[in-house]
Structure 1
Amino acid sequence: MISVTTRDVIEKFNLTLVSGNEGIGRYITTSDLSRPGLEMAGYFTHYPANRVQLIGKTELSFFDMLPTNLKKERMLRLCSTETPAIIISRGLEVPEELIQASNENNVPVLLTTMKTTRFSSRLTNFLESRLAPYVAMHGVLVDVYGIGVLIIGKSGVGKSETALELIKKGHRLVADDCVEIRQEAEDLLIGSPPPLLEHLLEIRGIGIIDIMTLFGASAVRPQKRITLIVELENWDGEKVYDRLGLDEEKMKIIDTEITKLTIPVQPGRNVSVIIEVAAMNYRLKKLGVNAAQEFSRRLEEVISVQDELEDY
C-alpha cells in the first residue's frame, strides 16, 4: 500500500519539529497542499483538513492582526484531527497559539528555512512521486540508448540473459525479475527495482549476480521512464508475425498505453541486437523517420506506375 507519513517529509527535507511530536506518524494521502489564508480569516466551510497546511509570510502577517481570542480559536480549528502537518516557511517565528493548539490535538508543526513557493514546489513533486499509482510487473527493465525498454515474457524465455548481453554492450540495468512501476504523471511511467533486488540479476545455472560489482556503477541506474515494451515468446511456426511494422501494438499499464513489440525467440536469433535496433528505430519514429511507412509509400508508387503501364 502506498503511504507517506509526516515523518517521511521531516526526514526528506530536514525539517525542524516545533510541536505536536506525537503526530509525526500521521499519513499524508494527497499531494495537494493548502495555504490557509481564508481559514485565518475565519472561513472554514471548505477547509481541506486532510492536506498539508503551508503557512508563509502573508498568512502570518494577517494572523498577527487578529485579536488574541480569535487567534486561539482559529489555530484550534486549523489543527484538526485530519491535518497531517502544518509547515511554517522562511524560518519565521511560530505563533504561541499554534504551538498550544498543535500540542493539544497532536498535529505536528514543522519549520523550514526555504521560501514558501520553492518549498511548495519541492514538496508537491515529492508527494506526487511517492503517492503515484503503482503496480509491480514481472520482467526486466533496461536503459538502451536512452530508451527505457521493459522486457516481458514467460518464465525461462531468456529475459535476464538478454539483459546481461545488453549490459555487456554498455547498456544499463534498472530492474530484474520484479519492476515497480509508478505513474507519476499522465503518460509518464517510471520503473524502478524493489530495494531487495537493486543491482541484482538472476541467471539460471549461475544464480544471483551483482551487476554493479561486476560491471561498475555505469552499468546500473536507479530508475527509468518506460517508453517501449518488448515481449519475448518462443517461436511458433503457425503464428504470423509482423514483418513490416506498420501496425503498432499497445499495452496498457495503469492508465498509460505503451508501444509493444513481440519478438519470437529461437536458437540463432541474437535477441539483444534486435532489442538495440528496436530501441533505435523507436527513437527514429519519434523523430519522424518511419522506415515501414516509407517502404509502403514506395510500394504504392511502384504499383501505381505498373497500373498506368497496363492501362497504356
Structure 2
Amino acid sequence: MTTKVTVKELVQQFDLEIVCGFTGLERELVVSDLYRPAIEMSGFFTYYPSERLQMLGRTETTYASQLEPEVRQERLEKLCQERTPCICITHGLKVPSELFKAADRAGIPILRTSLASTKFGSKVTNYLEKRLAPRTTMHGVLVDIYGVGVLITGTSGIGKSETALELVKRGHRLIADDAVELRQTEEETLIGSAPELIRHLLEIRGVGIINVMTLFGAGAVRDHKKISLAIRLESWEENRAYDRLGLDEERIPVIDTSLPQLTIPVRPGRNLAVIIEVAAMNFRLKRMGFDAVQDFTSKLGEALDDHEDWD
C-alpha cells in the first residue's frame, strides 16, 4: 500500500505561496524525487520527468529570461504537462509571465518559497520520502529490546501481548500492540509504529486494555522503531524437530525487505520474555561480529581433530 500527497498538503506543510493554479491543488505527488528542468530549458524534452515536482531556482529563471520571447514561451509551456503536479519557484523569485499563463491554463499550481533551492529541495525530498514510502500493516507486537526492534508475531491468543507486558516490566519499550504499521523508508529498512488510536495501549485478556505510558512512564514506550528481527510464536508440537543450535536462518519477506526470523515454540513453563530478550541480545552480538554457533562449531571441529590425532 502506498500513500499519496496532494499539492494542498505540500502547501500547508511548508507554508508556500500559491501564485496561480488554485484549481489544481488536489493534484497528487506520486514520487519523492524533485526535478530542476535545466536541460529542458535548452529544448531537450525527450526524457523530461513530468510526473515530478518541478523546481525552478535562479539558474533556470535567469536562463529563461535570456531566451528569445517565442522560444521562452514554447519551452515554458512544455514544462506544464498533464502529469505535472506543481511547479515551485525558490528564492522568492518573480514567476515568468509565460509560465504563469501556461500553468494557469493547464490548472497546474505554481508555488513560491523564500528558501534557497538546495535547502527547500532537501526538506521536501525528506518529507515526501517519508510520506510516500510503501506501507503495510501486520498483526503482531513491536518492542524495542536493548535497541533492537523486535516484531513478535503468532496466532491470536498465543501470548504476544502478555510477553510484551513482561518485557516492558523488564525495562524494554513498547512501540505497538495488535496492529503494527510498517513503512519501508529505504532498501532493507522497515520502520514500525502503532496506529494513532491504539498507541501506547496493550490488550491483556482477563484484564482489558491498559495504557503502558500511564502505568510505567514515558520511558516505557516509543512512537516508532526500525525493525531488525522477527520472532514467531507457535504452539509446541511434540513430533516436530526444532532448531537447537541456531544453524538454520529463516527469513520472511515484508514489502520489499527480507527480515531474519526466529520460531519459538510455546508451552507451559517457558519464560517467553526472557527467551526473546536473550534472542535480541544474541542478535546484537552477531551484528557486532560474535556468533556463538560459529564459535561452538569451530571449537567442536578442533576437538574432533585433536581426538583423531590421539587415535
TM category, shorter: over 0.9
The reply on whether 1:247 has 2:251 as its aligned counterpart is no
The 10-residue stretch of structure 1 (47-56 or 214-223) with the greater mean CA deviation from structure 2: 214-223
Look up the match of 1:63.
64
What secondary structure does 2:232 align onto?
strand
Alignment of 1:252-271 (within 5 A): 252-271=253-272
User: In the aligned structure 1, how far is the partner of 2:168 from the partner of 2:147?
Assistant: 13
The 10-residue stretch of structure 1 (54-63 or 1-10) with the greater mean CA deviation from structure 2: 1-10
User: In the aligned structure 2, how far is the partner of 1:208 from the partner of 1:71?
Assistant: 64
1:43 deviates by 2.5
User: In the aligned structure 1, how far is the partner of 2:40 from the partner of 2:249?
Assistant: 52
**Cα deviation per residue 1:148-198 (whole Å; 9 max; x = unaligned)?**
100000100011111111122221111111112122211111112222222
What secondary structure does 1:226 align onto?
strand
Alignment of 1:273-312 (within 5 A): 273-310=274-311
**Cα deviation per residue 1:14-52 (whole Å; 9 max; x = unaligned)?**
222221111111111112221111222232232211111
Alignment of 1:58-137 (within 5 A): 58-137=59-138
Q: Which residue type is aligned with residue 219 of structure 1?
A: A
What secondary structure does 1:170 align onto?
coil
**Cα deviation per residue 1:243-285 (whole Å; 9 max; x = unaligned)?**
1112222112122221111111122221111111111110100
User: In the aligned structure 2, how far is the partner of 1:37 from the partner of 1:303?
Assistant: 68
**Cα deviation per residue 1:206-260 (whole Å; 9 max; x = unaligned)?**
2222222322322222211111001111222221111111222211212222111
Look up the match of 1:208.
209
1:94 deviates by 2.3
Alignment of 1:143-158 (within 5 A): 143-158=144-159
1:5 deviates by 1.3
User: In the aligned structure 1, how far is the partner of 2:110 from the partner of 2:212?
Assistant: 43
Tell me how large the CA RMSD over aligned residues is: 1.7
Look up the match of 1:23.
24
Q: Which residue type is aligned with residue 226 of structure 2?
A: R
What secondary structure does 2:247 align onto?
coil
What secondary structure does 1:177 align onto?
strand
What secondary structure does 2:119 align onto?
helix
Q: Which residue type is aligned with residue 47 of structure 2?
A: H
What secondary structure does 2:285 align onto?
helix
What secondary structure does 1:139 align onto?
strand
Q: Which residue type is aligned with residue 54 of structure 2?
A: Q
User: In the aligned structure 1, how far is the partner of 2:16 from the partner of 2:218?
Assistant: 31
What secondary structure does 1:46 align onto?
coil
What secondary structure does 1:122 align onto?
helix
Look up the match of 1:14.
15
User: In the aligned structure 2, how far is the partner of 1:131 from the partner of 1:17?
Assistant: 23
| TM-score, scaled relative to structure 2 | 0.94
Look up the match of 1:53.
54
Q: Which residue type is aligned with residue 140 of structure 1?
A: V
User: In the aligned structure 2, how far is the partner of 1:95 from the partner of 1:168?
Assistant: 63
* Closer, same or farther: CA 253–270 of 1 in aligned 2, 3 Å: same
User: In the aligned structure 2, how far is the partner of 1:284 from the partner of 1:13?
Assistant: 43
The 10-residue stretch of structure 1 (163-172 or 67-76) with the greater mean CA deviation from structure 2: 67-76
What secondary structure does 2:296 align onto?
helix
**Cα deviation per residue 1:106-155 (whole Å; 9 max; x = unaligned)?**
11111222221222223222222222222221111111111010000010
The 10-residue stretch of structure 1 (16-25 or 35-44) with the greater mean CA deviation from structure 2: 35-44
User: In the aligned structure 1, how far is the partner of 2:163 from the partner of 2:271?
Assistant: 9
Identity of aligned residues (%): 53
User: In the aligned structure 2, how far is the partner of 1:91 from the partner of 1:166?
Assistant: 53
What secondary structure does 2:268 align onto?
coil
| TM-score, scaled relative to structure 1 | 0.93
The reply on whether 1:194 has 2:192 as its aligned counterpart is no
User: In the aligned structure 1, how far is the partner of 2:92 from the partner of 2:217?
Assistant: 42
User: In the aligned structure 2, how far is the partner of 1:201 from the partner of 1:184?
Assistant: 26
User: In the aligned structure 1, how far is the partner of 2:211 from the partner of 2:8?
Assistant: 32
* Closer, same or farther: CA 170–92 of 1 in aligned 2, 3 Å: farther
What secondary structure does 1:31 align onto?
coil
1:91 deviates by 2.2
